[in-house]
Chains A and B, each alone.
Chain A
Amino acid sequence: MTDRIVEAYIGEYASGKSESAINRALELTRQGRKVNLVDLDLVEPFYTLRPLQKELSSLGLDVIAWKTEETLGLGEAGTVIKPAARWALRREGDIILDIGYGVEGARTLNLLEGAVRDPDLKIFAVINVSRPMTASVKDIVAEVSAMGRVDGLVNNTHLAGETTVELVQAGARIVTEAAAMLGLPVVATLADTKLAEIIGPADCMGNPVRPLQRFMPKAFW
């Protein structure tokens, strides 16, 4: 067994994949690990890692994403996969992959050289119960079942600035129930740092709580 951590964050549109990936990458960096954060959002260029590169690099991450000035016709011409992203799994250190949404789900990982056979790869589906497409246990089960291989769920239930502890806990209950039906673990519940402090190290279902710093509102474009 290696010590290497390789995690891919997938999920429904606007479910918080990038936010989960960024915060996980930073958490690992703080532990003194070398971490690569890879933008694999091929669907659209909004709310991706691209505008955050500088800030995230300054926090010690190796970010693999386009720079805006390297692109042409952004938003219209589709997103071209960055060659470095294709070979990301060959990089030294931990690898956190931010996968875009779309009906292809986890199949985006086929584009990554070596992903299928990578022994360390874990694929986590990020769920926000405040999103109507994944509001109920039934919807989450259907959604995740259609994604292909998934190794765990992440509860990222929030309403931006209106998020409360109760909302996060309600999300935890629904996501945990769905996870049980899917036979999957809940890897973490995410909550803004302040809420995370109130909730403590575990949510009401016993899932570990990861404090979250929100970067993505700055990443719109």
Chain B
Amino acid sequence: MSEELVIEEKRVFMTGNEVVAWAALAAGADIMYGYPITPQNEVMHYWSRLAPRYGKNFLQTEDELSAGFATAGGVMAGRKAFTATAGSGSVLMQEPMAMVEMMRLPTVTVVQQRGGPSTATVIYSQQEVALTTMGGNGEGMRVVYSTAGHQDLYDYTIKAFNSAWKYRFPAFVLGDGYQAKMREPLTIYEPEKRGITLLEPEPYVGREGKPGQDRPPAQYRNTYNLEEELYEKLMSDIRDFEKISAEIAEYESMHTEGAELVIIAHGIVFRAVGEAVSNLREQGLRVGGFRPVTLRPLPAAQIKDLVAGVKKILVVESAYGQMARLLKETACGAPCEIHTMFKPGVGIAAEEVEEKAKEILHSQ
């Protein structure tokens, strides 16, 4: 007999992967398909412990290809299905995600980035931005939330399920090994009690009635015959995606108004940037911070505004410019100087950001 899930709103102390498992429960997820890879394992550990209690399911598949395609199957059957992966697992995950994009399937994938290309080095990394936003042999029709800590992991995992089912594009929660393993307090809650309506899933296949008699058969393919046919299908999806982009895009900004230098970072690195910005402000320096929360679609309008009104930008990443490339495309033509601080696969502390910011401010 399964229990009814009751999440009393309160402060709790958790690790990031655990937060994801609880958030998936709160979001009404029905089934997880996954394959072990550090640093996402405890998402599966906690989900597989909690799932049977609440009448939910878990399947450990033979690899990430299978996890991704089974997740596609789960949502086609009309269930809220999700998976979690990292590193070389993310690479394998691109194949199923390409099909998912093409069929507009509302999967949710949690990616806990790790240093690459490598085995081990599982903590500091923002090197799966290109993969998660634009991986696959397609056009990156995906919603990607980059989280900066445990409250984000909780909030955006819940949101990812809703965005996926609302817009019918695959959604991703992009964390990293640091967030996965870090321990900090957060508030857990039931979304409905916060006024968040959880969208109900709908089956793509296996609806009531005899196909061909009571209803037409539901038939999905990934094969297109003519280039024109594929082009039409893709352009229709791209138009849909562009139409909803502004509505999906999210960002956080601090002291950007009138700032001489704005430091841009996403995910956990923005924690260091935020601290650096506060310290620099206290020192009387006109420095601001900007964080795209969605990396796909980017908050394009806000980025364009930002780069039009500021002299200097500093992009900070635990990668060698994977987000900067996305930003530059949006900011193309802006007159501001763009400085960078790229440390692929390495953690970034507030002090180093501060130092770099001062260096930039002092150089004329």
Contacts and interface: CB of A to CB of B under 8 A. Distances in A.
Interface in B231-257: none
Nearest to B119: A76
A220 B178 CA distance: 9
| Main DSSP-derived SS at the B contact region | mixed
B206 interface: no
| Main DSSP-derived SS at the A contact region | loop
Contacts of B14: 14, 131-132
Contacts of B181: 44, 46-47, 220-221
B33 to A, nearest CB: 21
Nearest to B123: A221
B114 to A, nearest CB: 8
Contacts of B128: none
A97 B25 CA distance: 35
A160 interface: yes
Contacts of A135: 12
Interface residues of B, number: 27
Contacts of A46: 123, 181
Contacts of A32: none
A220 B184 contact: no
Contacts of A13: 15, 18, 42, 45
B122 interface: yes
Contacts of A75: 38-39, 120-123, 177
Contacts of A160: 13, 183-185
Contact of B15 (A14, A76, A77): A14
A130 B42 CA distance: 18
Contacts of A44: 38, 41, 181
Contact of A47 (B22, B122, B183): B183
Contacts of A128: 13
B185 A130 contact: yes
Query: How extensive is the interface on chain A, given as a class?
Result: 20 to 34
B215 interface: no
A158 interface: yes
A136 to B, nearest CB: 10
B5 to A, nearest CB: 11
A8 to B, nearest CB: 22
B362 interface: no
Interface string A108-143: 000000000000000000001011110100000000
A132 B11 CA distance: 10
A153 B265 CA distance: 43
A100 to B, nearest CB: 13
Given A44-B38, A132-B22, A220-B182, A76 B122 contact: yes
A130 B120 contact: no
Interface in B256-313: none
Interface string A53-70: 000000000000000000
A221 B178 CA distance: 9
Nearest to A77: B120
Contact of B11 (A76, A77, A130, A221): A130
Contact of A130 (B13, B41, B46): B13
B120 A162 contact: no
15 contacts: A14-B15, A14-B18, A44-B181, A73-B119, A75-B39, A75-B177, A128-B13, A130-B12, A132-B14, A132-B188, A133-B49, A135-B12, A159-B13, A160-B13, A162-B185
Given A73-B119, A131-B13, 20 more contacts: A13-B15, A14-B18, A47-B183, A75-B38, A75-B120, A75-B122, A76-B119, A77-B119, A77-B120, A130-B11, A130-B12, A130-B13, A132-B12, A132-B14, A132-B22, A132-B188, A135-B12, A160-B183, A160-B184, A221-B181
Closest 6 CB pairs of A and B: A76-B120, A75-B122, A73-B120, A130-B13, A46-B181, A159-B185
